[in-house]
Amino acid sequence: MIDENRLHEAGALLAAEAARFAGMGWMRGTSGNLSLTLERDPLRLAVTASGLDKGELGPADVVLTDSRGELLPGDERGLVPSAEAGLHARIAAVTGAGAAVHVHAMAAVEAGFHWPVGVEIADMEMLKGIGHSAHGERVVIPVVQNSQDMVELGDRFEEVYLRPANGIAEVPAVIVASHGMYAWGADLAAARRHTEIVEWLLRFTVRTRATR
């Protein structure tokens, strides 16, 4: 059982990260969401609550969800999980991630528009920040079509994650077309690093599109 103190601590961490990403313009208004995996069996996540300005979250602005991203009983504060909590839960279950970040960074939306089946990247020094070689290795940031049904969206994510293209290295991120991107890691710091690095790689790829 997860006590209120532990949930409050998770909320403080998530609020700090949300403020960071809001300051970058990647979580404008109420957009975007974050999660921390608190338990594995059964799966329990702390997820930012829906409808709140991500630049103004406090430690209490998180909820505890189950393996489907649904609010666990007993919380009488009136908060509800982000509508995308179900995908956070699927990411945690499939990848073993300790944290996940969803941002509406413009570079991800643009890249998903230009390369709807995946964004191929190679020979970039920044690839080392997501666990790959700077040279001689191709990676693809996968792109999935958006859906308001989190089970359907989770199935699309799981398909591209478990079946990467032949010869293409796996990455800790996925683009949701016309929406944004998700990135994850072993903990919140790793998820943050992966988010920032993947966004940088996508931004460079979009900016140099005409010359590639």
Pick from 93, 94, 127: nearest CA to 205: 127
Q: Which amino acid is at 57?
A: L
Query: Would you place residue 77 in the very low, low, confident or very high pLDDT band (cuts 50, 70, 90)?
Result: confident
Distance of alpha carbon 113 from alpha carbon 180, whole angstroms: 11
Query: Would you place residue 67 in the very low, low, confident or very high pLDDT band (cuts 50, 70, 90)?
Result: very high
Rounded to an integer, the average pLDDT of 10-39 is: 96
Distance of alpha carbon 203 from alpha carbon 54, whole angstroms: 23
Among the residue ranges 4-13, 164-173, 186-195, the one predicted with the least confidence is 164-173
Residue 69, pLDDT > 90, answer: yes
**Helices 106-114 + 188-207 axis angle, to 10:** 50
Rounded to an integer, the average pLDDT of 43-58 is: 95
Between 4 and 205, name the one with better pLDDT: 205
Domains, the chain, in order of start with CATH, read: 4-211 (3.40.225.10)
**pLDDT (tens digit per residue) in 129-182:** 998 888 888 899 999 999 999 999 999 999 988 876 656 768 999 999 999 999
Q: What count of other Cβ atoms lies within 10 Å of the Cβ of residue 167?
A: 8
Among the residue ranges 16-20, 41-45, 128-132, the one predicted with the least confidence is 128-132
Is 65 in contact with 150 (CB distance < 8 Å)?
Answer: no
Rounded to an integer, the average pLDDT of 173-200 is: 97
Q: How far from 83 is each of 86, 91, 153, 206, CA to CA, in Å?
A: 7, 15, 12, 29
Q: How far from 113 is each of 60, 69, 109, 208, CA to CA, in Å?
A: 36, 28, 6, 15
Distance of alpha carbon 162 from alpha carbon 170, whole angstroms: 9
The four Cα atoms 132, 134, 137, 143 give a dihedral, to 10 degrees, of: 60
